């Protein structure tokens, strides 16, 4: 039995196969419409979510399966003090696969160790968000035609943004990747990523504070929200929340084929006037999230469709 805790749980070859499957699902949805008939997905979300939970549910429904679950810790037995280890043992009796989001780093991993069904980490605190990374990789590969030879700007909350941490981990396995890390001093990338991942693997990167300076060299600009819920005090959040705002004027500094990605939700960091720019790919990215989660569910359940 296989779980997904980190994007590195799949080899590059396995990832290629998963992304190929997602592209086939996009082209031939009818072929997969009954693939998961009789199977159930449990979504166990101890933290707010719109896209991740609903895209998992949509993915399972598109495959002909069913869904059950809870969308906040308050509405589950966590409110009574139940541990994730106990909860997953129970969920294992009710469902065939589980997607879990939790505010504590490592909670889905703990659950997976006691689980009788595959567990997918749907975001654990400020740590990892592997299915967002699968979504990001599918978006980049589908729209750019490649995952190597790219200069990627990561902008905003690089400290608490789990999507950024997972994406860096995944992209360093492709040749010719360079990062431009764009953040204020207080929200710089944690040293367990800078030193242990980037430096340790000899990946070229620069750290800058001004988005304008980075713009002209980027192939991908990955914007992120300042992660309000992970701040220790409101004052720091208020000071940093509008640090970066991507506007039409800033887009003029970018390459004509640069793509703007964002895991969403957006707050103020991308002005709505940018939405009509053909380079704005964040809504298409959310659609790719459904295809890749369909591919992931099939892969972890070991279901092949011919």
Task: Determine, following the binding rule CB under 6 A, whether residue 163 of this chain makes contact with ligand NCD.
Answer: yes
Of residues 3 and 162, the one with the C-beta less far from ligand NCD: 162
Query: Interface residues for ligand NCD in 267-296 (CB under 6 A)?
Result: none
Of residues 204 and 265, the one with the C-beta less far from ligand NCD: 265
**Token pair listed for 295:** 């591919």
Of residues 32 and 156, the one with the C-beta less far from ligand NCD: 156
CB 26 within 8 A of CB 296: no
Kindly indicate which of the ranges 36-44, 164-172, 202-210, 259-267 contains the residues binding ligand NCD, using the contact rule CB under 6 A: 259-267
Q: Which of 40, 127, 162, 293 binds ligand NCD (CB under 6 A)?
A: 162
Query: Interface residues for ligand NCD in 55-84 (CB under 6 A)?
Result: none
**Angle, CA of 14, 18 and 21, to the nearest 5°:** 140
**Token pair listed for 212:** 């304008």
Nearest Cα to Cα of residue 35 among 63, 56, 8, 62? 63
Task: Determine, following the binding rule CB under 6 A, whether residue 264 of this chain makes contact with ligand NCD.
Answer: yes
Q: Please tell me whether residue 122 adopts helix, strand or coil conformation.
A: strand
Total residues contacting ligand NCD by CB under 6 A comes to: 11
Cα separation of 4 and 142, whole Å? Answer: 22
What binding mask, one character per residue, do residues 212-251 give for ligand NCD by CB under 6 A, x or -?
-------------x--------------------------
Kindly indicate which of the ranges 2-10, 30-38, 59-67, 263-271 contains the residues binding ligand NCD, using the contact rule CB under 6 A: 263-271
Of residues 62 and 135, the one with the C-beta less far from ligand NCD: 135
Q: Give least dist CB 59 to ligand NCD, A.
A: 14
CA distances from 108 to 118, 160, 164 (A): 11, 18, 19
* 109-113: long-range contacts, CB 8 A cutoff, minimum separation 24: 109/5, 110/84, 110/85, 111/84, 111/85, 111/87, 112/3, 112/5, 112/88, 113/85
Q: How far is CA 4 from the centre of its chain?
A: 12
Cα separation of 105 and 6, whole Å? Answer: 12
Of residues 52 and 115, the one with the C-beta less far from ligand NCD: 52
**Residues labelled catalytic:** 51-52, 80, 101, 129
Cα separation of 245 and 248, whole Å? Answer: 10
Cα separation of 219 and 230, whole Å? Answer: 29
Q: Give least dist CB 177 to ligand NCD, A.
A: 21
Task: Determine, following the binding rule CB under 6 A, whether residue 255 of this chain makes contact with ligand NCD.
Answer: no
Residue whose pair of structure tokens reads 């070229």 in the numeric block? 204
Task: Determine, following the binding rule CB under 6 A, whether residue 132 of this chain makes contact with ligand NCD.
Answer: yes
Cα separation of 129 and 145, whole Å? Answer: 23
Q: Give least dist CB 52 to ligand NCD, A.
A: 4
Q: Give least dist CB 262 to ligand NCD, A.
A: 8
Nearest Cα to Cα of residue 63 among 33, 26, 42? 33
The residues binding ligand NCD (CB under 6 A) are 51-52, 123, 129, 132, 162-163, 225, 263-265
């Amino acid at each position: 039995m296989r779980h997904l805790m980190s994007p590195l749980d799949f080899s590059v070859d396995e990832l290629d196969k998963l992304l190929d499957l997602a592209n086939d699902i996009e082209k031939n949805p009818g072929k997969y419409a009954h693939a998961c008939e009789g199977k159930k997905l449990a979504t166990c979300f101890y933290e707010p979510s719109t896209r991740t939970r609903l895209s998992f549910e949509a993915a399972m429904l598109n495959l002909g399966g069913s869904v059950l679950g809870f969308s906040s810790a308050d509405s589950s037995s966590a409110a009574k003090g139940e541990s994730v280890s106990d909860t997953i043992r129970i969920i294992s009796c009710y469902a065939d696969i589980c997607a879990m989001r939790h505010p504590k780093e490592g909670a889905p991993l703990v659950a997976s160790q006691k689980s009788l069904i595959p567990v997918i980490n749907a975001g654990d605190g400020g740590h990892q968000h592997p299915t967002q990374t699968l979504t990001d990789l599918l978006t980049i590969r589908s729209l750019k035609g490649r995952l190597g030879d790219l200069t990627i700007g990561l902008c905003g909350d690089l400290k608490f943004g789990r999507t950024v941490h997972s994406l860096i981990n995944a992209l360093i396995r492709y040749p010719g990747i360079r990062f431009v890390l764009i953040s204020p001093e207080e929200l710089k990338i944690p040293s367990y990523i800078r030193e242990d991942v980037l430096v340790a693997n000899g990946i070229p990167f620069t750290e800058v504070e001004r988005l304008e300076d980075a713009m002209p060299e980027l192939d991908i600009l990955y914007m992120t929200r300042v992660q309000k819920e992970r701040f220790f005090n409101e004052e720091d959040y208020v000071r940093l929340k509008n640090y970066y705002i991507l506007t039409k004027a800033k887009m003029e500094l970018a390459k004509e084929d640069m793509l703007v990605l964002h895991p969403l939700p957006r707050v103020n960091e991308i002005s709505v006037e940018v939405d009509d720019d053909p380079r704005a790919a964040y809504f298409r990215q959310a659609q790719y999230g459904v295809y890749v989660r369909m591919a992931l569910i099939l892969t972890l359940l070991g279901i092949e469709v011919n």
